Structure 1
Amino acid sequence: MTGRPISRRGLLRSALLGGVALGLPGCAPDDGPHRRLTLATGAPGGPYHAFGHALAAQAARTPPHPRITPVSTAASVDNLRRLAAGSADLGLAMADAAEQALHGAAPFTAAPARVTALARVYVNYTHLLARADGPVRSVADLAGRPVATGATGSGAQVLAGRLLRVAGLTGGRAVREQRLGLAESVAALRRGTVDAVIWAGGVPTPALSALARQLPLRVLPLESEAEALRAAYGPVYSAVTLPAGVYGLTAPVTTIGVGNYLLARPQVPDRDARDVLRVVFDRWRVLLREVTAGARLEPRFAVATGDLPLHPGAVAYYRSVYG
């Protein structure tokens, strides 16, 4: 049985004071083979699916060889529900959805989910895309139009709902939401059955790069919406920049950033959680290459998990890194 989750603030305070010992009562034994861990990922073709399968493959090749089985899901919200129900041991989720689950906010009002964080692994960039030859030239132009807002059960759909609310696109100005995953969203924008797509993922997202080579795109800036989301929901949101060159952009575009967490059930043995992190940090270049270009993973970034407490096995790993 694992010990009580420890907050990242306590971990950082201990590290900065020179590694004062943190009690980790009830840690699981470190002998015997690893148990097999089920990792809830996302839909095929999406970044969570790619990251999860890459992590499982690298774990099989990298000592101490934790055993990971990735499973396809609808992504963040679905993954959090699976973790809460015990049908997954590990999962990937966007930070805003994870905090909703932790606090029992919609769509998790039935009961808060007891989940812990292993790491913040990378940042999602919000993409609000329209056809360059289409009628959408600003966020306000979305009113009343069909917009792909992410698949049901995805973190993208949670983010899209909040974005539309802070942009005032509710009531009589509401968009006609189409609950579509990434592949379906791309196909719908190409066909013209939606006027815009809201997507959150790494940069570049391969499916969007492929679309931009076939169809000129307009990428809408979201700087004011990033500020509004941060004011309404806290530092889980930040302003980030899509660089010139991606998707045919001739200049940088400011948009909304939100972290992605690798999560674990509190019942995952401490040794297994620690060993999964060893693989993540040993092989981060390979893992992040699958989802976002040019990103790095460092411990001080990884422990920034907001309200989500760190798993005790993660605490043990980071203490070993900080010394």
Structure 2
Amino acid sequence: MKKTLIALSMALLTPAMASAENYSIGTGGQSGTYYPFGGALAKVWTDNIDNISVKAEVSAASVENTIKVVRGDMLTGLAMGNVVLDAYEGVGKFPTKMPVNVLFALYPNLVHAMSLKDSGISSVLDMKGKRVSLGAPGSGTAVTSAALLESMGIDVEKDIKAVYLNYSETTNALSNGQIDAGFIVGGQGVGAVTQFALTKDIQILSIPADAQKKFIGEYPAYSSYTIPADVYKGVNAVDTLSIWNVLVVKADMSEEMAYQLTKTAYENIDKVRQVVKAAEMTTPENASRLAGVPLHPGAEKYLAEQQ
């Protein structure tokens, strides 16, 4: 009888022990860069760190990932730097300061303010009175696009007809004439925009230099960026804004876990680059690109060893 009880206890404990080794990395929609990037990282970690299994989780991206990391529902998540900074400072979508750290920076996201060439829209200011997708609810795109429009004097509640669509929904709605303009904030060559440009005559609107300067003054985590000509079919060079993406983790993650995640990611980054070209920017030199949010001590330990 005693042996039976012991066996039963072990059987009950085994699933809990196994689940404690299973983790997720928050990504975004499947038409963006976050999902393949997160999937590649998950595989690298699963294949090279003992006793853990990591899977990529589809999500609404930055805001959702940051919240779920803090709640302990995700091990880590990809997020735009401005969102993580807001969480750390307890502003914007975050009513209180969140216990977040950065594991390391990944690559810059670029503001793609898009419309069809025959839309009659030639600048962001022409979006007034139009139907505009600001990005998926809870995404960094939605945070950035709303902040940019407000900075340029456009009230997102009164001056436009705002809808909240993810990458593929935005390009589909533009193609079908359901909206007039839309924002995608993603890496250079992001798949949704690349595919959109192959099927439609699109334009990506430049952000004027004075508007960029004003916005960067209000949100110092951003910087200016020029998308080269022909990154997207038929699209000339575009002056826009960029913001670094980062891996966000909870501040109380163990130093050893953060160290192993950072070490393994950098030692196998070539495998990630085979999947996502943007990972060429994921280097130890760029690890601390997001000012204002501390790196996790475990990540700092690894980076110090490389100097």
TM-score (norm 2): 0.87
Q: 1:117 aligns with which of 84, 99, 102?
A: 102
CA contact (8 A) 1:64 1:275 kept: no
Deviation of the 1:244 alpha carbon: 1.0
Q: Secondary structure at the match of 1:287?
A: helix
Match of 2:166 in 1: 181
Establish whether residue 303 from structure 1 lines up as the match of residue 288 from structure 2.
yes
The correspondence of residues 122-141 of structure 1 with structure 2, limited to 5 A, is 122-141=107-126
The aligned residue for residue 74 of structure 2 is 88
Aligned pairs for 1:174-213 (under 5 A) are: 174-213=159-198
- Percentage of matched positions with identical amino acids: 27
Q: CA deviation at 1:136?
A: 0.8
Q: Does 1:227 align with 2:210?
A: no
C-alpha distance 143-250 of structure 1, shift in aligned 2 (>3 A): closer
Q: Which has the higher contact order (CA 8 A, sep 6+)?
A: 1
Larger radius of gyration: 2
Worse overlay, 204-213 or 271-280: 271-280
Q: Matches of 1:83 and 1:172 in 2, distance apart?
A: 30
Say what the alpha-carbon RMSD is for the aligned residues. 2.0
Separation in structure 2 between the aligned mates of residue 125 and residue 286 of structure 1, nearest angstrom: 24
Aligned runs of 1:1-323 on 2, under 5 Å?
A: 35-62=21-48, 67-109=53-95, 111-170=96-155, 174-224=159-209, 225-234=211-220, 236-249=221-234, 251-288=236-273, 290-293=275-278, 295-322=280-307
d(CA) in 2 for partners of 1:227, 1:250: 24
Residue pair 1:146, 1:196 contacting (<8 A) in 2 also: yes
Runs of 4+ in 1 over 6 A off after TM superposition: none
* Count, aligned residues: 287
Contact 1:147 1:195 in 2 (8 A): yes
Q: Are the counterparts in 2 of residues 83 and 264 from structure 1 also a CA contact under 8 Å?
A: yes
1:7-45: per-residue Cα shift (whole Å, max 9, x none)?
xxxxxxxxxxxxxxxxxxxxxxxxxxx944331221222
In structure 1, the gaps of 5 or more residues are 1-33
- Taking a change above 3 Å as real, the CA distance of residues 171 and 66 of structure 1, as seen in their structure-2 partners, is closer
The separation in 2 between residues aligned to 1:210 and 1:250, in whole angstroms, is 13
Could you tell me which runs of 5 or more consecutive residues in structure 2 were left unpaired when the two chains were aligned.
Answer: 1-19
